[in-house]
Structure 1
Amino acid sequence: MISWFMEQTLLLSLVCVTLLISHRFLLSKIGAHYTYSLWLVVPLLPLADVVQTLLPQYFNWLSPNQTLGVIQQYYVQATDTASMSSSWFKLLYLPYLYAAVVLVLVVNLVSDSIHLQQLTRRAKPFVIESGKLNVFIHPNIESPMLVGLIAPQILVPNSFTLLDSHQQDAIIQHELYHYQRGDLWANILAYSLTIMFWFNPLMWCAYRRFRQDQELSCDAQVTANMETDSKIAYSKALLAYSQHAPLSMLHTHYGDKTILKERILQMKKQHGKNTLVLMGVTLLLSVSALTLNQQAQAGDNQSQTQAKADGIYPTTRIEPVYPIGAAKEGMNGYVQLSFDINPAGKVSNVMVIKSSPAGVFDDSAVTALEQWQYQTSANGMKGAQVQLDFVIHQPDASVERIQVR
């Protein structure tokens, strides 16, 4: 599980950095709608990896011309720092720390939900033609917002009554577009992914930029057919609600002074939106996510990819514990094992075929392999083989190596 998180963190970091660095260029060249749609690749990356793991037989076309590997080979790595402070890692026990932070973030989400429910209960109906949603007015909010996953409604502040009818209609249409596009659910998905990878600061930066692009995209939709005077009036409404409200996961934030200038300038650079093109972009991103995950797995270990092509690969792989004594002495080595896999994917009859140095890494390798879970199959497999390479530094010349062909 830890190795999966690390692999996905590297991929997500690469994608987020690319989108954040190229954001201004993308916004100027392809517009707010398509720039916003590009963020879809972020949740598609881990989803693509899960789908490939569960249904590998449907994705062999992503890795053609693979030859069948004789033996699977995996690396078990340890650093000098880890070997000197292994006892500290046991005390900290990272899974508990990870779960504690996730719990805090989930509690924050629940607290936000309770607060919004209290707001909606105290809000009063506001008579305005809005189409599909009811509009309510509340004295304790500073900006119009869309709230409610199950029963959506639009909340507006008391100052909303001071705007002219055209400005009111434009703001309502802005929030309605959030609703029609399902942005509240998209926000929950984005925040859930951010919770999963909370330890990666790039995910938080990407989440904030995603939410800002969401507002830019709605602005582009509402002002696409506006005359200049109407755009000026809409800009004044943005200015009126430019308070910096906290970024909430469960409602939209119409007023945001951090991107006020960007939103006004973007209205001068309208780009068209084509539904078919957006669908094409989505399809392209899906294929790209599948390919990127496939390449990452292939780059991590060639023999592992060959095993996947044959349909014999672990869906759950427990990393062996690097023996403390071997780590302190800087010892490298390998263990070659044979084992059986039953139809349910369980491992049994683990036996050491060969190891070097003899007996040093054997117990750790056997204990880990017995906990692996392989893909389910009709008949299972007898006599499967795997090689676990224990590596701190580059392998010494004195350590015997098995060449996998």
Structure 2
Amino acid sequence: MIAQFVQLNLIFVFITCLLFIFRKPINRSLGIHVVYGLWFSLPCFVISFALAPWMFGSVVTLDIELIQVISTYSALEFTSGKSFTDFDLLIYLWTAGFALMQTFFVFHLRQLNQLRSKAKKEPSSTTLSVLSHKDISSPVLAGLLSPSILVPPDFKQLSIEAQQSILAHEQTHHHRNDLLANFFAWILLSLLWCNPLAWLAYKRFRQDQELACDADVTARYDTKQKQHYSQMLIHYSQHHASHLFTTPYGNKTTIKERIMQLKNHQQKGKSTILTLAVIIVMSTIGVFTNLPVIAGNDNKDPSPIVRVNPQYPQEAARMRQTGFVVIEFNISSTDGSVNSAHVIESSPEGVFDQAGLDAVKKWKYHPSNGSNTSTKVQLDFSIAPEDKTLERIKVESGKQH
């Protein structure tokens, strides 16, 4: 599991670096819509990589492993202590980070809901509600299920052109489903929170989202209307506030980039076919990148974490009986536990069966990568030979006269 997670992060870094390197040339030649669309290749790659084992996973059958059980040994439990501890520690750290980000997500939603509940509704001809609140410093679109436009108290003091530009911008975000895109981007960031480049990619994705929205809003604007739009951006850049799933106007650096695009922007085709082609390619790469890992399971024995030796049946030990049991079982792909254990062969029949099953059901393996593993094990029960180096002295109780 950890190996696949590391592999996923390395390929994620490679694809993200390509996007950072080529985003400016693509923007100049094909337009910001293509750049923004290419960011969706990242979640498509991650999803296809993760689903590959379930789509193409197979049950792996391994040769029979031989284990000797000697009567002088009691039930022992041995573990690969260090690897098990390290594995658990990494899982706990990742889970803690993921949980922390979701806690922040819930806190942010509650904060926004409180603002919306206390905000004053402004008269507007838009399909979305317009709400004003003193704690809002710049216009934002907020609310995944029932979105509304939050504006600062001075919104009505702006010119009619500025108000129309703001409302048009936020409604465009709504029509483009940008809030939903931000939500899934946050989920992806939560999964890869330990990767620093994921944070940079998330930030750049949000910035390109704003640039693409600007391009849609101003597509039919003349020069004067674009000037009003630029003035509105400059005005609210002085009151920048960051929000998770809202659509903020950005800091001064982002505003400068947006204004420069308005000055130099020439409307280009959205090249939907090209964007879809890249997304399909990334999804295919995600699937085939993980296929060797699945195939590799056919050549690797499952690695045990915990194995309990069977108790030698007392009656068999007393009678100095020896024999074997062949047990077949499945290893869970999620937690590595043993299930569906059953005896397929034993000799003498019925003597060592239950002892073998009781022990095997307590075994635990490293989880496989999404594919259930079927394996067999043969437990050989034998009597330990006598130690010839020991001198044996018989002590008898004498009769007292």
TM-score by length of 1: 0.68
Counterpart Cα distance in 2 of 1:122 and 1:204: 32
- The verdict on how the C-alpha distance between 1:54 and 1:273 changes in structure 2, with shifts beyond 3 A counting, is farther
1:283 deviates by 2.8
SS at match of 1:150: coil
1:41, 1:286 within 8 Å by CA — same for their partners in 2?
yes
1:244, 1:255 within 8 Å by CA — same for their partners in 2?
no
1:344 deviates by 9.7
Matched, 1:209 2:204: yes
- The verdict on how the C-alpha distance between 1:319 and 1:233 changes in structure 2, with shifts beyond 3 A counting, is farther
Q: C-alpha root-mean-square deviation of aligned residues, in Å?
A: 3.9
Match of 1:96 among 92, 95, 119: 92
Name the counterpart of 1:368.
365
1:244, 1:258 within 8 Å by CA — same for their partners in 2?
no
Name the counterpart of 1:63.
none
Name the counterpart of 1:290.
283
Alignment of 1:349-388 (within 5 A): 368=365, 372=368, 375=371
Indicate the structure whose relative CO is greater, using CA pairs within 8 Å and at least 6 residues apart: 2
- The verdict on how the C-alpha distance between 1:372 and 1:21 changes in structure 2, with shifts beyond 3 A counting, is closer
- The verdict on how the C-alpha distance between 1:340 and 1:13 changes in structure 2, with shifts beyond 3 A counting, is farther
1:42 deviates by 1.0
- Structure 2: gaps of 5 or more residues: 64-80, 306-325, 334-338, 344-359, 378-401
- The verdict on how the C-alpha distance between 1:152 and 1:145 changes in structure 2, with shifts beyond 3 A counting, is same
- Report the AA paired with residue 368 of structure 1: Y
1:268 deviates by 2.4
- Report the AA paired with residue 258 of structure 2: R
- Report the AA paired with residue 121 of structure 1: S
Counterpart Cα distance in 2 of 1:39 and 1:17: 12
Alignment of 1:219-298 (within 5 A): 219-243=214-238, 245-272=240-267, 274=269, 277-278=271-272, 280-297=273-290
- The verdict on how the C-alpha distance between 1:340 and 1:245 changes in structure 2, with shifts beyond 3 A counting, is farther
1:172 deviates by 0.7
Matched, 1:119 2:112: no
- Report the AA paired with residue 110 of structure 1: V
2:138, 2:248 within 8 Å by CA — same for their partners in 1?
yes
1:258 deviates by 2.6
SS at match of 1:267: helix
- The verdict on how the C-alpha distance between 1:284 and 1:271 changes in structure 2, with shifts beyond 3 A counting, is farther
1:28 deviates by 2.0
- The verdict on how the C-alpha distance between 1:222 and 1:122 changes in structure 2, with shifts beyond 3 A counting, is same
1:25 deviates by 2.2
Alignment of 1:170-185 (within 5 A): 170-185=165-180
Name the counterpart of 1:108.
104
Counterpart Cα distance in 2 of 1:284 and 1:261: 32
| Deviation string, structure 1 residues 148-197 (Cα, Å, up to 9, x no partner) | 11111001112222222122111111101111111111111001111111
- Report the AA paired with residue 297 of structure 1: N
- Percent of aligned positions that are identical: 31
Name the counterpart of 1:402.
none
- Report the AA paired with residue 39 of structure 1: W
1:7 deviates by 1.8
| Deviation string, structure 1 residues 288-328 (Cα, Å, up to 9, x no partner) | 12332244235x569539x6xxxxx99xx97666xxxxxxx
Counterpart Cα distance in 2 of 1:166 and 1:106: 39
SS at match of 2:267: coil
2:193, 2:199 within 8 Å by CA — same for their partners in 1?
yes
2:62, 2:374 within 8 Å by CA — same for their partners in 1?
no
- The verdict on how the C-alpha distance between 1:176 and 1:339 changes in structure 2, with shifts beyond 3 A counting, is farther
- The verdict on how the C-alpha distance between 1:173 and 1:268 changes in structure 2, with shifts beyond 3 A counting, is same
| Deviation string, structure 1 residues 334-388 (Cα, Å, up to 9, x no partner) | xxxx9967799868689xxxxxxxxxxxx9xx9537x547757xxx98889xxxx
Name the counterpart of 1:28.
28
Matched, 1:304 2:296: yes
Q: How many residues align?
A: 317
Counterpart Cα distance in 1 of 2:250 and 2:374: 60
- The verdict on how the C-alpha distance between 1:274 and 1:127 changes in structure 2, with shifts beyond 3 A counting, is same
SS at match of 2:237: coil
1:284 deviates by 1.4
1:128 deviates by 2.5
- The verdict on how the C-alpha distance between 1:32 and 1:282 changes in structure 2, with shifts beyond 3 A counting, is closer
1:56 deviates by 2.6
1:71, 1:303 within 8 Å by CA — same for their partners in 2?
no
Pair member with larger Rg: 2
TM-score by length of 2: 0.68
Name the counterpart of 1:144.
139
SS at match of 2:188: helix
Counterpart Cα distance in 1 of 2:62 and 2:302: 18
- The verdict on how the C-alpha distance between 1:347 and 1:203 changes in structure 2, with shifts beyond 3 A counting, is farther
1:339, 1:347 within 8 Å by CA — same for their partners in 2?
no
